[in-house]
Chains A and B, each alone.
Chain A
Amino acid sequence: GAGVSQSPRYKVAKRGQDVALRCDPISGHVSLFWYQQALGQGPEFLTYFQNEAQLDKSGLPSDRFFAERPEGSVSTLKIQRTQQEDSAVYLCASSLTDSPLHFGNGTRLTVT
């Protein structure tokens, strides 16, 4: 079946602009995670949803970062007033309960 789908694949934003990144998880997967991957680094946890409930947002770096999953399927990660340090690849992953995570190909965000 289809894997985790993320859009857009690439996003260039001017400093101070707001961006919205979309994740379509694998159908039926209740758990959804967002990770941030800086160049040459491993992914770092941002936030976690079980269905529509955001159970852990401890990894969000500031209050400029906001994530939602209103119907328990598609999720959006929003970054307000982007800064250069926000430049990274944003990865979405989904899973069944107590199962390994399956990742999308990410959105590469460049803030100029």
Chain B
Amino acid sequence: QKEVEQDPGPLSVPEGAIVSLNCTYSNSAFQYFMWYRQYSRKGPELLMYTYSSGNKEDGRFTAQVDKSSKYISLFIRDSQPSDSATYLCAMSRGGGNKLTFGTGTQLKVEL
């Protein structure tokens, strides 16, 4: 069993929908949680960076961390076709430590 589990999708939603992406993990030592967006043939781009449990909002994006359930989520409001990409969750023990990634969820936002 992998340390970080993420449904690979693909997930297809209409433009304007609210998207919910999530990951579960098994290692309770993880303290830092990130979401990266990866477009085809590009490197991962940092979207959200959070420490420990709680919520963080940035524009249309909200990240939630529930350490008691070992569950993290990313919500995208008013989704746009430009949001179509693969979304990778990642986590680490320390702020600048090596990351453990999920498989990535492929998202398609359709007109």
Binding site for B on A (CB under 8 A): 4, 31, 33, 40-45, 48, 56, 59, 91, 93, 95-106, 108
| Cβ–Cβ contact A40 & B8, under 8 A | yes
Question: Which chain B residues border A56 with CB–CB below 8 Å?
Answer: 98
| Cβ–Cβ contact A42 & B6, under 8 A | yes
Chain A to chain B: the 8 pairs with minimum beta-carbon distance, closest first: A42-B101, A98-B95, A103-B43, A98-B96, A105-B43, A45-B98, A103-B44, A100-B49
| Cβ–Cβ contact A97 & B96, under 8 A | yes
Main SS of chain A's interface residues? loop
Q: In the complex where A31-B96, A40-B8, A105-B41 touch, is A100 in contact with B103 (Cβ < 8 A)?
A: no
Interface size of B by Cβ–Cβ distance < 8 Å? 24
Question: Which chain A residues border B101 with CB–CB below 8 Å?
Answer: 42-44
Question: Which chain A residues border B34 with CB–CB below 8 Å?
Answer: 100
Q: Which of B6, B94, B98, B102 contacts A33 (CB 8 A)?
A: B98
Q: In the complex where A100-B34, A101-B46 touch, is A45 in contact with B95 (Cβ < 8 A)?
A: no
| Cβ–Cβ contact B103 & A41, under 8 A | yes
Show 8 A/B contacts (Cβ-Cβ < 8 Å), sorted by A: A40-B103, A40-B104, A42-B88, A42-B90, A48-B98, A98-B95, A100-B96, A101-B46
